[in-house]
Structure 1
Amino acid sequence: MKKIINKTSNVVWMNLKKIFSFFGFQINKNTEKSKIIELIKSLRPYQTNIELIRMGSVTDGGYLVPNDLEGIKTCFSPGVDTESGFEIDCLNRGIQVYMADNSVERPNIDASKYDYNFIKKHIGTTSNEDFITFTDWLRSSNIEPNEDLLMQMDIEGAEYFTLLSIDELLLKQFRVILLEFHFLERLWDKEFFALASSVFEKLLKTHTCVHLHPNNCSKIYKHKNVEIPPVLEFSFLRNDRITSKTFIDQFPNVLDKDNLNYEKPVVLPKNWYKH
C-alpha cells in the first residue's frame, strides 16, 4: 500500500538522521517557530456552504471531498499503487479518470468494466521516457480549456516540486484538490520550509482548505510545543465555489477513518485548527 511506502520512507529518514548525528552532522532545525505557526494558521480548515462526503476506501485511499462534483467530468489521479477505490468511485459517478504511475503496470481496476486512461510514467518536473510534467500530462489529455477538474494526488513526497511546476491557470481549473503531503516534520528545516511554504502559498491563492486528516502511518512530531503530523491529507475547494465559511473547531470529522487499522490512531493536533 502507498501508506506502507510512506511509513518506510519515514523510517529511512529517521535512520539517516541517526547516521548523520553519528558522524557529527545535524539535521537543521533552524526555521523560526513563528513562521511555522503562521503557516499552520494559514492552513486552518474551514467549514463552507459545501458539505463533505467520503469517497474511496473506508480506510487507506479514502478521502473527504467537498460535495461539489456536479459538472466535473474529469479526475486526474497521479500515484496509483494497488488501491483504486477512489478512482472507481469517480468512474461510478461518470467522471473520467486519468492516472499515471511508473511503479505499476496498470491500476487495480477491472478494465472490462471501466473505461479509464493510464500512462506508465511518474509525474515530475520534466518530461522524458519515465517522467511527465503535470502540465504536459493535462495538455495531452482530452479536456476542454475551461473545464472544471478534480485532482487526487499521492506521490510520496514528489508533490512539492510537482505542484510548483504546474501552470497556475491549469491549477485553477481544478475545482476540488485532494493532496497528501509528506515529511511535514521537516518544516523545521529552513530550506524545506521555503519549498513547502511556497507550495501552500500557491495553492491558497485560488483554493481554501476545507479538511485535514493525519495519516496514522506516522506519529505526531513535536518540537518547541508545536505538533506536526508528518503525513497529512488536505482537501481544498476553489474559492469561487465558496459563499460562506467559518473555521472548523472540532476534529476528527465523523467520516474520518484511520488509514491503517493495524497502527494506533492519530488525531489532528489542536494547533492545526484552534486559535
Structure 2
Amino acid sequence: MKIEKTIDFINKQNPKSRIDLIKIEDIKSKQTKDHSSYQFHILKFYALLFVTDGNGDHFIDFNSYSCEKGTVLFIGNGQVHRFSETSNLKGFLLPFHDDAFNFLNIKKLTNILQLFNNELITPKIQLDNDTFLGLKNKFEQIKKEYLAVNDTHSNQIIAAELYTIFSILQRQSNTNHDINTKSQHLIKFLAFQDLLIEHIFNTSKVQDYAKWLSISGKTLNYIIKSITKKQAKTYINEYYLLRIKRVLMNRELSIKECAFQTGFEDLSNFHNFFKHHIKLTPEQFRRKYS
C-alpha cells in the first residue's frame, strides 16, 4: 500500500501529453465522492495556478495563501493542496509531469522546476497589471490551441507560449530565488533534497546525508543554512513532520499504520513526538485537515 496517497491527471484531449490546461471553474464544479478539490490531496505532478479573477484562499502543504487577480501559485510534485469552498477564483491550472518539456521539445529553458521548490522561492507571486495581461494572453492562446485548433502545429505553438510564460515567471520570482539559484552550493542542496525525499522515514541523522553526499556534516549544515537560513537538523525535522502530515491525509491507513510507516515502532512515541511539535494529536490533525 502506498503510504502517501497521490492523485494524477490525464489530458483528455491528448492522453499521451504530459501537460494539460484546465479552467479553475471546471475543477471546482466537478466534485465526486472519490475526489473533491476541497479536500487535501497530494499531487503526483507539478501545477501552476494562474488567477484571472475572483478572490479567496488556496492551501499548499497546510499553509493558506490569499489569491486574487494576478496571483500565481507554484505547487510542487508531492505537495498537498486544496481549494477553499468559500473562494470564487477563476483562471487556469496548468498541471504537468517533470518530463513534459522534453515532450514539447523545450530545451533552452533551464531551472523551470526550481520555481516549484519552496526553499528557493515562495509558492506565491503577485503580478503587476501589465505582466498579468501579457500572461493571460499566453494562457488564452494555449487554450485556443488545445480546444479549438489542435493540429500538427499546436505542440510547437504551445511550447513557444510556455517558454515565454516560464521565462516571465522566472524574471518575476523574488530576490531570494535569484540569490539561491546562483549559489555555489545549490547543486549539493538539490541532491540533499532528493536524498531526503527518499530516506526521511529511515533516518533523520545529518551525518547519514552528509556521508551520501561525500561531504562532512559541518559542510552540509553550512550549505543548508546558506540557502534556507536553518540549521540542518532543524530543516530535516521540519521536513520529517511535513511528510508525516501528508501520510496522515491517507485515511486508508490507521494512525497506528501511519506511525509504523513513518519510522515509529511505538504508537505512544509517535503521539508524543507529533503533539510536541504540532500541538495536536495525530487524530486531531487528521480530523482538522481531512
Q: TM-score, normalised by structure 1?
A: 0.31
Tell me which protein shows more helix as a share of its residues. Answer: 2
Q: Whose Rg is larger?
A: 2
In the superposition, the TM-score normalised over structure 2's length comes to 0.30
